[in-house]
Chain A
Amino acid sequence: MKQRPMRLCEETRRFATDSQKGIYGRQTKETPFVVMDDVPGFAKMSPLAKHDAMIEKIVREAPIRICENEKISGSASLGAAISHIIPAMFDGKKVFDSISHLTIGYEDILHHGIEGLRKKAESSLAMQTEERKIHFVKSCIHAIDCFSLWHARYVKALENDPRYADNYRNLNWVPEKPARSFYEAVQSLWFTFAFTRLCGNWPGIGRIDILLGDYLKKDLAQGVLTINEAREILAHFFIKGCEWITGESCGNGDAQHYQNIVLSGIDENGEDVTNEVTYLVLDIIEELAISDFPITVRLNKNSDEKLVRRVAEVMCCGGGILAVYNEDLIIASLTEYGYDEKEARCFANDGCWEVQVPGKTHFGYYPFDALAVLQHHTLKGYTDVSFDSFEALYKKYTEDLDRQVQAVADFLPGWLHNDDPCTIVSLFVDDCIVTGKSYLEGGAVYDVLSPHIGGIVDTANSLYAMKKLVFDDKIVSFAELMQILKNNWEGQDALRLRAKNKYVYFGNDNDEADEMVSRVASDFADACGKYDTHEKIKFPPGISTFGRQVEWAPHRYATACGNRAGDVLSGNISPAPGTSMQGATAMIKSYCKVDLKQHRNGAALDVALMPDHVKGEEGVNAVMALLRGFVLLGGFFMQPDVVNAEILKEAQKNPESYTNLSVRVSGWSARFVTLNREWQDMVIAKNESGEL
């Protein structure tokens, strides 16, 4: 695998190592929350008053943390925030959950400071007549005061410490006032982000190169900052962003708090935004392998060669830190859906990849498993069910799918009737302050509730196998197949393996197999369209599993495509494990045959690459070709990852799930599972030492 370059100074690298080891995250856990029990009358307060009291206590009491050598300051130092709650407890219990799945707007703070935000809130208060709205805007003003209060504590803590003279100088100005330089802008951005996290929320960052690019350009032009100095400063933003890493294992990892970053792409006027900040971010994550900020690069047909090459180079270092959007398709999709084109061009995401207009969107999604719909509803657990034709079966399935979507749509009328206090994020989402309505009750410009279909590939593969086995090739009757599946393929190994091996499934660029996924996807999108009638809330479809397939698998029966009950399921809209035989290009082609434009919230493809695929100049070129092809063919979101030796070991144990792994042997490629044991071991050893 590609060696990571070293550009940052030793102190910065050490700070990164400490932070990534979880030193600061574990400190955070030692001070989990503030206690509200000593606040007089707390139990009897209104929810909003409780919330305000909690925020005030948090900003007054949260430990000030200044890490050795840090270049920017401010710390979300209460550990309960890592559990997605407002870190203030009463009677030993949490009081309110916090907010995530949104990217807040930072432009106001950067350009107008807290003072600008305060003015905006005060003028809104003067306009409000409804009591409810007055209360909300007062809560906003209180939150802004709390922000200033917390800020003042840091300024005081840094004063008179010569080690942090820069930090003091910057914080003595921002975020209270507008940023004037790149360094101030980075500090202002971080402090605002840290404040919302201090109060328990998990916001994204969004388009950092737009937010910071002009500041850097000006500083470089005036010669007050070098590009290397800028890289060091920005690196501290990323390292500070690891302060919630605790190193403790928990199901889906400890480094995922939806703190997304989106790079490159066009701005609202259609101009390419790629700038020095774009490249600095790529430099930093390439060097430090920080995966805490899920980073997605917006590519289009005209993306600069230099950018695509840098993206490919960072991908070749492994770790799956970078993903890509095809913004051509996404902007067209959002515009077609009714967004103003200028707004559509601004898209970022909620923290993973679900697209939204940052700083203006209240977002939620509702996931369900399409395979459960098929097995439990349409096929009634394989009991007392019969269909004369495939089309009859499929028709019943779309009816069940429609019912599932309707069940999600049933949430729409009540979704904005939400009293939960959420003032902190409301400060940074248009137009909550102006309209006097909170983020959760419709104050945002856009409200989006997205139904997400999961298990779509397993579903389509199952349908496809039933069509082939029963209706096309007539190998078994429908009744026999139901009995066989009910018995979990017991005593039917030859038939099971026939189903598994003799048919080609989604992900191999086989039109017939791919068509089934496209068909289910389109019917799902149509169902969503049918219920997309709410006056305020948008109801765009998305395709995802986000790892939920691991939880779903134990509850699923055998499938007609040869899986036994409980077998590993497919992720997102990626080929099912063990079914991809033609490599990454075929995978991308199958994926792009789906009408992805309909899935306006997003549809993710995971592509695993072997370290030998990404080795050297050939590897970089290959990844670039994959990225270009992905855009050309009309993909939505793709996350390539380089497979490590651990995966290879797993492939040795379960070769049938890894049929597609190929390795470079000596000037050519061989499929890993076709090698004999000793050679597999050697390839693994070579991969472990990174010298293949």
Chain B
Amino acid sequence: MQIPVSQIQRFCMHDGPGIRTVVFFKGCPLSCRWCHNPETQSFENQIMFDAEKCIGCGSCDACPHGAQTDRKNCIGCGACTALCPTGARENTLSMMPMQQVLEIVLRDRAFYGASGGITLSGGEPMAHPMEAIALLKRAKEEGITTAMETCGFFSEEYLPELKKYCDVFLWDIKDLNDVRHKENTGVSNQIILKNLKQLDCLGAKIILRCIMLRGINMKEDHLRGLRQLLEELSPQTKIELLPYHCMFEKKVSGLGMSDAFNHERYIPTAEDMEQARQMIGI
């Protein structure tokens, strides 16, 4: 089985308990305007270009598709990344055999102890449900803990098995106002919330992760809605508020994408955050 990997990052501490290795899946059904990992949205390989690393050696002029003159021609074949001497051009997708992914993850076994392990992230790992579940299952068999960062947008049929092999869910809640949710992410939040509640009923350990964007979702209906949602879910449910940032700017331009959203005005102030916490009641 092949896993569509964008990146594997070791020694992570903020993506579940203990020291973790995060496997970023490529491809996501949502298209959040503020996405922090824009290179993982598309399911296809894209070339990430870092202008600061480019020395203008011209190796990439050999592009067989003429993407050097017009980036629109790029089909993500990766020919230029193989030729680039400096790493200024890099692939954002590599299809890796599951055993290889697992082998990389297990390299840090000595550091996991009882709490650390693997975290699936992305992109949306559940956009590749068979692969994601199989990887979690294998990791569990190896005796390490498992976690998943998910937007929650996937078919409910996978929930029971997912619960079986995933110890902790880091569950994104982008907006409880469905009109805005559709507008900003491209999909409705109904499936996400239904899955969440069903998973909660199954007794899963869930941490809600809520991006906070000033003027977008830091509105009373969303914040009070979160409070109500927490009341509905089992008491062990935790919530983390993540203030929006625009540090992904470089990634957006590196992918040759238009920079339509990225604005500092959406960054919440400390006051905004405090107010949000009060409304949510945390």
**In B186-232, which residues have CB < 8 Å from any A CB?**
209
Question: Are the CB atoms of A585 and B19 closer together than 8 Å?
Answer: yes
Contact residues in A for B107 (Cβ distance below 8 Å): 509, 585-586, 589
Interface residue A621 (Cβ < 8 Å from any Cβ of B):
yes
Interface residue B115 (Cβ < 8 Å from any Cβ of A):
yes
**In A658-678, which residues have CB < 8 Å from any B CB?**
664-670, 674-676
A-contact bits for B35-56, CB 8 A (1 contact / 0 none): 0100000000000000010010
Question: Are the CB atoms of A494 and B85 closer together than 8 Å?
Answer: yes
Contact of B245 among A618, A629, A679 (CB under 8 A): A679
Q: Which residue of chain A is the closest to B14 with respect to CB atoms? A: A668
Q: Using A497-B86, A622-B19 as known contacts, say yes or no to A665 and B240 having CB atoms under 8 A apart.
A: no
B-contact bits for A441-478, CB 8 A (1 contact / 0 none): 00000000000000000000000000000000000000
Q: Bound complex: CA of A674 vs CA of B250, how far in Å?
A: 8
Interface residue A651 (Cβ < 8 Å from any Cβ of B):
no
Question: Are the CB atoms of B57 and A613 closer together than 8 Å?
Answer: no
Contact residues in A for B19 (Cβ distance below 8 Å): 585, 621-622, 625-626
Question: Are the CB atoms of B247 and A584 closer together than 8 Å?
Answer: no
**In A153-175, which residues have CB < 8 Å from any B CB?**
none
The range of chain A's interface size is 35 or more
Interface segment among B5-13, B93-101, B139-147, B174-182: the answer is: B5-13
* Nearest Cβ on chain B to A589's Cβ, whole angstroms: 7
Interface residue A502 (Cβ < 8 Å from any Cβ of B):
yes
* Nearest Cβ on chain A to B227's Cβ, whole angstroms: 20
Q: Bound complex: CA of A589 vs CA of B244, how far in Å?
A: 35
Number of B residues, CB within 8 Å of A:
36
Contact of B247 among A509, A582, A679 (CB under 8 A): A679
Query: What total count of A-B pairs have CB within 8 Å?
Result: 99
Interface residue B4 (Cβ < 8 Å from any Cβ of A):
no
Interface residue A619 (Cβ < 8 Å from any Cβ of B):
yes
Q: Bound complex: CA of A254 vs CA of B19, how far in Å?
A: 36
A-contact bits for B142-176, CB 8 A (1 contact / 0 none): 00000000000000000000000000000000000
Interface residue B73 (Cβ < 8 Å from any Cβ of A):
no
Contact of A665 among B209, B247, B249 (CB under 8 A): B247
Contact residues in B for A497 (Cβ distance below 8 Å): 55, 85-87
Interface residue B272 (Cβ < 8 Å from any Cβ of A):
no
Interface residue B260 (Cβ < 8 Å from any Cβ of A):
no
Interface residue A493 (Cβ < 8 Å from any Cβ of B):
yes
Interface residue A501 (Cβ < 8 Å from any Cβ of B):
yes
Question: Are the CB atoms of B11 and A586 closer together than 8 Å?
Answer: yes
Interface residue B282 (Cβ < 8 Å from any Cβ of A):
no
Contact residues in A for B112 (Cβ distance below 8 Å): 625
Q: Which residue of chain B is the closest to A659 with respect to CB atoms? A: B87
Interface of B: prevailing SS: loop
* Nearest Cβ on chain A to B7's Cβ, whole angstroms: 11
Question: Are the CB atoms of A495 and B85 closer together than 8 Å?
Answer: yes
Question: Are the CB atoms of B110 and A667 closer together than 8 Å?
Answer: no
Interface residue B129 (Cβ < 8 Å from any Cβ of A):
no
* Nearest Cβ on chain B to A510's Cβ, whole angstroms: 10
Q: Bound complex: CA of A588 vs CA of B85, how far in Å?
A: 28
Question: Are the CB atoms of A664 and B14 closer together than 8 Å?
Answer: yes
Contact of B59 among A494, A625, A655, A665 (CB under 8 A): A494
Q: Bound complex: CA of A584 vs CA of B107, how far in Å?
A: 12
Interface residue B123 (Cβ < 8 Å from any Cβ of A):
no
Question: Are the CB atoms of A501 and B10 closer together than 8 Å?
Answer: no
Q: Bound complex: CA of A632 vs CA of B52, how far in Å?
A: 40
Q: Which residue of chain B is the closest to A622 with respect to CB atoms? A: B13
Q: Which residue of chain A is the closest to B209 with respect to CB atoms? A: A667
Interface residue B111 (Cβ < 8 Å from any Cβ of A):
yes
Task: Name 27 interchain pairs, CB-CB below 8 A, sorted by A.
Answer: A493-B57, A494-B55, A494-B85, A494-B86, A497-B85, A498-B85, A501-B87, A502-B85, A585-B11, A585-B19, A586-B107, A586-B108, A613-B13, A621-B17, A621-B18, A621-B115, A622-B19, A624-B113, A625-B19, A625-B113, A625-B116, A629-B111, A665-B247, A666-B244, A668-B15, A676-B247, A676-B249
Instruction: Beyond the given A621-B13, A625-B111, please list 6 additional residue pairs across the A-B interface where CB-CB is below 8 A.
Output: A494-B86, A582-B10, A629-B108, A668-B36, A670-B247, A676-B247
User: Which residues in B have some Cβ–Cβ distance to A below 8 Å?
Assistant: 9-15, 17-19, 36, 52, 55, 57, 59, 85-87, 107-108, 110-113, 115-116, 209, 240, 242-247, 249-250
User: Which residues in A have some Cβ–Cβ distance to B below 8 Å?
Assistant: 493-495, 497-498, 501-502, 509, 582-586, 588-589, 613, 618-619, 621-622, 624-626, 628-629, 632-633, 655, 664-670, 674-676, 679
